[in-house]
Amino acid sequence: MRIISSIVDWVSTPYTIFFILKDPSIQHGAKIRAVIGLVLIFAYVISPFDMIPDFIPAAGWLDDLVVVPLGLALLRKITPGINVVEKTKRAQASVQKIMVWTMVALSTAILLGLAWLGVLIYLIVRLIAG
């Protein structure tokens, strides 16, 4: 489950930036500050250099759980008029939908592939035996 939430967070950050840039009601300067702040938070999360290294079980993720909300709170202060948390939640919901449909499509493709493989094996056995 941790891997899926990490993927959602990783993919949703650029999508959040897209939502902010697409919003016509946001001033240009606020958009730039929001994008720079989100990029810095994103870079911290994916960076191998943390206050507590991520390879330490549980403790390595604690700094991410503290730094990211603090970064988003600071970002809300420096970008008035932009609800970064709302845009982030919207992006995460969209990414989760995409991931669900990707898993459904992948599962369907695997099942169809296995069915065709079964038909092919059946035909080969019938030709050899028959």
What pLDDT does 16 receive? 78
Q: What is the dihedral sign for C-alpha 87, 16, 88, 91?
A: positive
Q: What is the dihedral sign for C-alpha 25, 28, 29, 34?
A: positive
Please indicate, yes or no, whether the overall pTM of this predicted structure exceeds 0.75: no
Query: Each residue of 9-18: pLDDT tens digit?
Result: 667 777 777 7
Query: Each residue of 46-89: pLDDT tens digit?
Result: 776 766 666 666 766 677 777 777 887 787 777 776 777 788 88
Q: What is the CA radius of gyration of the chain?
A: 22
Tokens of 110: 């695997």
Query: Each residue of 33-43: pLDDT tens digit?
Result: 888 888 888 78
